Structure formats: structure tokens, C-alpha cells
Amino acid sequence: MNLAVEVRATGSSAIVMCTGDVLLGQGAEILRTTLYGLLHRYDRVTLNLQEVRRLDCAGLGAIASAAGIALRSNKALGVCGAFGLVDQVLTLTRLNTIFQTYDPREVVAA
């Protein structure tokens, strides 16, 4: 399944709702492009991975590079809804230590 993203923005925050697979190719590139653009426009970006089924090294790279942009530009990147295999991959690679994690119920959509 390809990756579909929906952005909900309000004020200085944006939430990226992801559905599908964040894999090498189109999925990772869509996520990378979306996050880069939002981090240039908003102070806080939250990535909702609740509906993501698979995440590979390209998807991890997209998230890691966005986290780097956030840190360098004094912005906040958060992740919510990482469950199952997606959560395991983020934990094993320790990417979960470089951004704020939230329970999806804590993130209020615009």
C-alpha cells in the first residue's frame, strides 16, 4: 500500500496523518518532502504513525533527517501512534529518543 498523508494545521502547529507504508521510493519521499515543507512553515510538527503498517530504512531516514532539521531550526518534531513493528523499529534504532512521543489521544487535530 502506498503512503497517503493528510496535513491538519492550526496556528503554529501541524499534524501529519500517515496511512500506508513508509518504504524506499515514493512513500519515504512523500514523507520527507512533507516534513521538510512543514518544518519550514510551522514551529511544531507531529507525525501520526497510527495507520502506518511498515517502515523501512528509507522511512527511518526521512524521519531522522526531519528531526535534524527541527533541531537545527529550533522547531519541535513529535511522533504519536507508533505501535507494533513501527514502534519496535523506532526503539531498536533509538530514533524514539530524538523526538517527543505522544499518545494519539493527546494530539488534538485541527
pLDDT in tens, 54-101: 999 999 999 999 999 999 999 999 999 998 989 999 999 999 898 888
On whether the pTM is more than 0.95, the answer is no
Burial of 98 by CB count in 10 Å (0-12 exposed, 13-18 middle, 19+ buried)? middle
User: Domains of the chain: which residue ranges?
Assistant: 4-106
Quote the mean pLDDT of the chain. Answer: 91
Bridge partners for 10 per DSSP: 13
- Percentages (nearest 5) of helix, strand, coil residues in the chain: 45, 35, 25
| C-alpha 46 chain-centroid distance | 6
Q: What are the tens digits of pLDDT across the range 29-49?
A: 999 999 999 999 999 999 999
- Confidence category of residue 5, pLDDT binned at 50, 70, 90: very high
Strand order in the sheet with 4-10: 4-10, 13-22, 44-55, 76-80, 100-102
Say if residues 89 and 58 touch (Cβ distance below 8 Å): no
| pLDDT at 62 (0 to 100) | 96
Taken in order 64, 66, 71, 77, the sign of the CA dihedral is negative
- State the architecture of 4-106 in CATH terms: 2-Layer Sandwich (3.30)
The residues, ordered by sequence, that sit 6+ positions from 87 with a Cβ below 8 Å of its Cβ are: 96
